[in-house]
């Protein structure tokens, strides 16, 4: 795309805003405040019983629901969706659809909803409602803060035009289809102001043989592409087997099949190098499967079956989750996909896990962390539904790395001991190195160790490095150490040490955040807020665990440190959520926050959080203007940064500024063809 870099310099009259001051407190009140700070609305309830130091607060632990108990909770929520929508102030044309429920031991129910508008799905309209045992709403977390409303429901752009654009996008990425699988009208709300749009899904195959499910969102008024993401979620490969293991199979007469009746009826099929359907269920007249080599097709089947078994048990025994959807129903696995296919993938549309046989069909990608990683994509899809693009896509991938690592440690298999290396036993790189390193992600040559403003533009497998690094630091801490015979040496972006709290606690915090705090649009700043909220509920806001979450995020350049104390500190956040349009290649806009209740100077680590919707963020230049009039550059112009949106937290040394006064955010678009909206910005004084 040809870019015009001429610049406009006209000033824009500031819009002062009465600052909303939020101060971190203790227990649930502090948690609710943190949720609110991340632009996810919440109302504080009564404080729970104070947990004992270092122990999880049992009141906020999720209880294991039987399929019938879960179904009953969903039915109950479903009968009240109209009343819930009214209580949340949703418009007359908006309706809620129940997606999932989580129940805590104290009776709190976290209900996850999708939303419709005039009967159309609202993509990015998902939300989580927390309800106390008494029935009182105690918190709401929304994927978008915008009011869902559009001017009309009649498209100016034809469905055929949207389909043509999507098919072209798919072909540019190796797709082989001349027509889309489906085109539907939707409301697109994930990138700021809701608009009438088309969602087009193009199937077929990608250039490496992976099935294609490219989703393209097109503005139904202008015809402009708003967003795209790949519905097939691929990831790591691992060709190493797990040795001799016990499998749960099913016998009928003299025939045995790879059917796991103890885990929701999970089945493992042999595609025999096909690429569609289920293939043939593994079946034989004895219960010994494979011979440990690729000369026997059942070897890969045994590995896949074992991986599904251990992943089910990990989620069940660690979090009380009964299967990927938490409904007691098993997925199914397919091995020997395609010809020399060097990957594995989860497909939510078939609720199945698929493995290729690797280069030369000699190395089936059927190891334990593959199963844990890929099937965790299914868990994410059926909980937070993190969009598979930008920062949310990195969090999606990281969740699978985190949970796949959890599965590997959980299995405690001597043939594949737990580690923080992803794909360490395969040779895709040709040199025997892992695909990813959680202790120092940049060791793979592409992944990010810490957050920066352009990280959302990376491939999601590389932007995942930030959360992977956070999880490692939270679990094990920084510095050099040896775990299960593997040497690690994890750095921090601020040069300060982090003390880990152990992998078990880190997993509980991440899972609770995933299932009750994250939404489809969660970015890294939101993930910090969500994990802090989860840590506060589980261990208390004055706990070492809560402080460790703060410190681990700060160590990957997301937010500030705990201040060395034992908890949430006394930080305050001020925000201005008045939306302002950003003129295309025009004058700068300024939005103001007035601070009047502090003393002395601002800190040297003032946090400035910015939420901007924009279709070519490289056009934007962003400055913080202090009360003295001094400008602090947050983001420079970059003609090559074509990614969407700015959802970032910047650290500013503002120690020479007085804290009280009017602070301004100045935003200017310095190139033509793309527009955007300032949705929200915040100042946080740690």
Q: Which helix (H) or strand (E) holds 356?
A: strand 352-356
CA pair distance 144, 149, nearest whole angstrom: 12
CA pair distance 619, 641, nearest whole angstrom: 8
Write down the residue that tokens 């959890």 correspond to.
406
CA pair distance 129, 125, nearest whole angstrom: 13
Q: Which helix (H) or strand (E) holds 461?
A: helix 460-463
Among 472, 468, 649, CA closest to 571: 649
Tell me whether strands 332-337 and 266-270 are parallel, antiparallel or unpaired: parallel
Angle between helices 390-411 and 368-381 (to 10 degrees): 130
CA pair distance 377, 187, nearest whole angstrom: 25
3-state SS, residue 318: helix
Tell me whether strands 344-347 and 233-234 are parallel, antiparallel or unpaired: antiparallel
Catalytically annotated residue among 110, 461, 614, 644: 461
Q: Is 374 a catalytic site residue?
A: yes
| φ, ψ dihedrals at 125, nearest 5° | -105, 10
The DSSP secondary structure of 61-122, one letter per residue, reads SBPPPPHHHHHHHHHHHHHTHHHHHHHTT--TTEEEEEEEEEEBTTS-EEEEEEEEETTEEE
Strand locations in 118-213 (E): 120-131, 137-142, 182-188, 195-202
The CB-side HSE value for 235 (13 A sphere, CA atoms) comes to 39
Radius of gyration over every alpha carbon of the chain, rounded to an integer in angstroms:
25
CA pair distance 339, 260, nearest whole angstrom: 27
Q: How many CB atoms lie within 10 A of CB 75?
A: 10
Write down the residue that tokens 């790189």 correspond to.
429
Among 318, 456, 455, CA closest to 376: 318
CA pair distance 635, 457, nearest whole angstrom: 15
Catalytically annotated residue among 228, 233, 374, 476: 374
Find out whether 166 and 200 touch, Cβ atoms under 8 Å: yes
Sequence-separated (6 or more) residues with CB below 8 Å from residue 385: 99, 126, 519, 520
Q: How many CB atoms lie within 10 A of CB 550?
A: 26
Furthest CA-CA distance within the chain: 85
Find out whether 566 and 547 touch, Cβ atoms under 8 Å: yes
Indicate the DSSP class of residue 497: -
CA pair distance 241, 657, nearest whole angstrom: 60
Q: What angle do CA 304, 310, 313 make, to 5 degrees?
A: 140
CA pair distance 487, 475, nearest whole angstrom: 15
Q: Is 461 a catalytic site residue?
A: yes
Among 42, 47, 93, 103, CA closest to 70: 103
Strand locations in 211-313 (E): 214-219, 225-230, 233-234, 250-252, 255-257, 259-260, 266-270, 280-281, 283-284
Active site residues: 374, 461
């Amino acid at each position: 795309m040809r870019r015009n870099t001429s610049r406009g310099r006209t000033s824009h009259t500031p819009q002062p805003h009465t600052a909303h001051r939020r101060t971190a407190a203790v227990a649930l009140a502090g948690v609710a405040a943190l949720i609110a700070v991340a632009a996810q609305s919440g109302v504080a309830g009564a404080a729970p019983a104070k947990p004992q130091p270092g122990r999880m607060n049992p009141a906020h632990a999720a209880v294991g629901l039987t399929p019938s108990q879960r179904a009953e909770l969903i039915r109950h929520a479903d009968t009240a969706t109209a009343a819930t929508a009214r209580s949340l102030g949703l418009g007359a044309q908006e309706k809620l659809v129940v997606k999932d429920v989580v129940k805590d031991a104290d009776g709190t129910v976290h209900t996850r909803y999708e939303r419709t508008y005039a009967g159309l799905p609202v993509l990015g309209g998902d939300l989580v409602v927390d309800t106390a045992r008494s029935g009182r709403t105690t918190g709401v977390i929304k994927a978008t803060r915008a009011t869902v409303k559009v001017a009309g429901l009649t498209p100016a752009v034809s469905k055929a035009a949207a389909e043509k654009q999507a098919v072209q996008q798919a072909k540019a990425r190796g797709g082989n289809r001349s027509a889309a699988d489906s085109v539907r009208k939707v409301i697109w709300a994930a990138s700021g102001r809701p608009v009438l749009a088309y969602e087009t899904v193009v199937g077929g195959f990608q250039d490496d043989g992976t099935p294609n499910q490219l989703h393209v969102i097109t503005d139904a008024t202008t015809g402009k592409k708003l967003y795209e993401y790949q519905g097939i979620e691929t990831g790591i490969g691992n060709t190493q087997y797990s040795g001799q293991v016990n499998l749960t199979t099913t016998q009928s007469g003299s025939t045995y099949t790879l059917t796991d009746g103890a885990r929701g009826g999970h089945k493992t099929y042999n595609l025999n190098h096909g690429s569609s359907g289920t293939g043939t269920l593994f079946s034989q007249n004895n219960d010994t499967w494979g011979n440990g080599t690729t000369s026997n097709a059942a070897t890969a089947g045994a590995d896949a079956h074992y991986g599904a078994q251990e992943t089910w048990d990990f989620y069940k025994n660690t979090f009380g989750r009964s299967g990927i959807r938490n409904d007691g129903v098993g997925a199914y696995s397919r091995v020997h996909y395609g010809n020399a296919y060097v990957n594995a993938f989860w497909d939510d549309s078939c609720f199945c896990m698929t493995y290729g046989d690797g280069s030369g069909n000699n190395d089936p990608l059927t190891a334990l962390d593959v199963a844990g990683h890929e099937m965790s994509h299914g868990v994410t899809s059926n909980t937070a539904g993190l969009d598979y693009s930008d920062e949310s896509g990195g969090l999606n991938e990281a969740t699978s790395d985190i949970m796949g690592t959890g599965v590997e440690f959980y299995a405690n298999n001597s043939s594949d001991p737990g580690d923080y290396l992803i794909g360490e036993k395969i040779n895709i790189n040709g040199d025997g190195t892992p695909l990813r390193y959680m202790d120092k992600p940049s060791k793979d040559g592409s992944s990010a160790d810490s957050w920066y403003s352009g990280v959302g533009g990376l491939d999601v497998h590389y932007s995942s490095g930030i959360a992977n690094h956070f999880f490692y630091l939270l679990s094990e801490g920084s510095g050099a150490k040896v775990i299960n015979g593997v040497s690690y040496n994890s750095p921090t972006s601020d040069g300060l040490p982090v003390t880990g709290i152990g992998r078990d606690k880190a997993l509980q915090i991440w899972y609770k955040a995933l299932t009750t705090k994250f939404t489809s649009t969660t970015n890294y700043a939101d993930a910090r807020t969500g994990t802090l909220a989860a840590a506060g509920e589980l261990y208390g806001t004055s706990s070492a665990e809560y402080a460790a979450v703060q410190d681990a995020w700060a160590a990957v350049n997301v937010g500030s440190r705990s201040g060395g104390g034992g908890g949430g500190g006394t930080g305050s956040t001020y925000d201005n959520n008045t939306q302002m349009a950003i003129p295309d290649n025009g004058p700068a806009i300024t939005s103001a926050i007035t601070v009047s209740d502090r003393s002395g100077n601002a800190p040297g680590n003032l946090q400035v959080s910015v939420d901007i919707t924009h279709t070519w963020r490289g056009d934007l230049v962003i400055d913080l203007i202090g009360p003295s009039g001094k400008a602090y550059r947050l983001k420079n112009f970059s003609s090559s940064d074509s990614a969407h949106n700015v959802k970032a937290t910047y650290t500013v040394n503002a120690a020479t500024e007085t804290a009280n006064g009017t602070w301004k955010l100045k935003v200017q678009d310095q190139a033509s063809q793309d527009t955007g909206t300032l949705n929200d910005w915040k100042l946080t004084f740690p």
